Amino acid sequence: MDDRGGSFVAVRRISQGLDRGDTCHSTSAEVVAGSAAWLGRGLSCVCAQRRESDARPSFDLTSAQEECLLRLQSRIDVAYDSSNPDHQEALRALWKAAFPTEELSGLISVQWKEMGWQGKDPSTDFRGGGFISLENLLFLARNFPKAFQDLLRKQEGDRAMWEYPFAVAGVNITFMLIQMLDLEAVKPRTLVGATFLKFLAENESAFDHLYCIAFKLLDHQWLEMHASYMDFNTVMKSTRRQLEREILLEDVTRLEDLPSYNFLTR
């Protein structure tokens, strides 16, 4: 991707009042406006479309929910810094999780294209999702290693000849979720965002878990739609709509109740 957010090279597949919680349970990090990781020549990021003039309600938060939201927002506000040793180590850890038997020659290397980054320096792709998008990928790798490898290597279903790039897709999913849940607002202005804060108040890793669900759902939608790389934005829109529907189901009281959660554990 160039500095204008113009195009990417498709990759060939590697192989065939809310009253829920009174406390915030910890279990376990910047979105730059208008600079998401774009997918598709001349296509805009599907999750960046918003009219500031839209009038939307706001929902009151409990003190616990407000605390959890502020902590999540502080993660979102962290830009990836290629000079930060902790960020460097996280990137190395991602490589090791993806290719445990292959030695990485350096943080700037053509090897990164194997994972679906657009160039030899992954830091240029993090502009759309910040450090939290790297954290999300690591969370997926560490907590759902089979799902991580299946997504990376495109091991499920009848795949297209030209597939979406795994890593850049992951950054787009982080950005999409931040927009869908309205996480940059002081208070949620959508019922989906307000409902998510119930989950967040009970489990501070709820955003990371939802990311994993969204990635597997996106891949499922990709296969169902027999998509190829130019269809990525359409698949992303479909994924977002499905997540919104599932979050608002009456019998969903935690993320594990989402129908799409089953994609993670099958």
Q: What is the pLDDT of residues 87-103, one digit of tens each?
A: 999 999 999 999 999 99
pLDDT at site 22? 42
Does residue 63 sit in helix, strand or coil?
helix
Q: Are 51 and 241 in contact (CB under 8 A)?
A: no
| Amino acid residing at 183 | L
**Of 144, 142, 156, 158, the residue nearest 225 (C-alpha):** 158
Residue 149 is classified by DSSP as H
pLDDT at site 162? 80
Residue with tokens 């499922």: 220
pLDDT averaged per 10 residues in sequence order, the chain, 266 residues? 39 40 43 34 39 60 92 96 96 97 95 93 88 98 96 84 90 96 92 95 95 97 92 96 96 95 90
Compute the distance between CA of residue 55 and CA of residue 241 in angstroms, rounded to an integer.
20
pLDDT at site 57? 65
Show the DSSP H helices in the chain as ranges.
63-76, 85-98, 131-143, 145-153, 166-180, 191-202, 206-224, 232-247, 262-265
Q: Mention every residue, 6+ apart, whose C-beta is less than 8 A from residue 169.
A: 39, 116, 215, 218, 232
pLDDT at site 34? 31
What is the chain's alpha carbon radius of gyration, rounded to the nearest angstrom?
Answer: 18
Q: Which two tokens stand for residue 81?
A: 């810094």
pLDDT at site 259? 96
